[in-house]
Amino acid sequence: MTRAVLSIGSNLGDRLARLQSAVDGFGAAVREVSGVYETEAWGAVDQGRFLNAVLIVEDPAVDGPGWLHRAHELEHAADRVRGERWGPRTLDIDVISCCDMTSDEPGGTELLSRDSSPGGLSLPHPLAHLRAFVMVPWLAVEPDARLTVTGRRCAVADLLNELEPADRTGPRLTDLVLERREWPTPAGDG
């Protein structure tokens, strides 16, 4: 079973509907959905607050690049425009980890460039250990989560504790809910 951790976020338009479109788009592959957290934008760009969540997905037919491709398709369907780095986004989906794989392809964290050509995939995501908006929701659905950082397997809880206190407490759990819908089992799967 190919398993991945995905971080989803939105700070433009109907933010909750955009996140729900990601959950729906991954369909039957979704195993866990975190609560919805509201956070300040990460990076130096002045913009509105994000809604963020984490999905745990599984599909035996999808590898790391396959999860990235599916993420790109869903971002495109949500009218994602790639302009300013760390700028406002209708939908942002990052592949945080995939089956404990490590890879560092050229263009790693740049999912798509300005001309919409695919970028490379870095696994695990090279900035995940610095982002409370990834770690807090991830720990909510997987308290024993582990992430490889500089070649070392680390408990995500320990990585979160290494952040500044203001960063750790930044993500605020909302009362908003993402629905993991029940999808029919494909014929022949049991």
Give me the helices (H) in the chain, please: 15-26, 64-77, 132-141, 156-161, 165-168
Q: How confident is the model over 49-99, as pLDDT tens digits?
A: 999 999 999 999 998 889 989 998 998 888 776 655 666 788 989 899 887
Which residues are 3's β-sheet partners?
58
13-23 per-position pLDDT tens digit: 899 999 999 99
User: How high is the pLDDT of residue 44?
Assistant: 61
The reported pLDDT for the residue numbered 113 is 27
Give residue 111's pLDDT: 35
> Which of the four pLDDT bands, split at 50, 70 and 90, describes residue 123?
low
Beta-strand pair 37-39/50-58: antiparallel
- Round to the nearest angstrom and report the end-to-end CA distance of the chain: 16
Higher pLDDT, 149 or 100: 149
pLDDT at 139: 97
Spatial contact of 18 and 52, defined as CB atoms under 8 Å apart: no
**What pLDDT shows up at residue 103?**
53
pLDDT at 84: 59
- CA 47 to CA 41: how far, in whole Å? 7
pLDDT at 35 over 50: yes
Top CATH class of 3-173 equals: alpha beta
**Residue bearing the bigger pLDDT, 32 or 42:** 32
Nearest to 118 by CA among 158, 183, 70, 55: 70
At 127-173, the pLDDT tens digits run 888 899 999 999 999 999 999 888 889 999 999 999 999 888 999 99
The pLDDT assigned to 87 comes to 63
- Cβ-Cβ contacts under 8 Å for 117 (sequence gap 6 or more): none
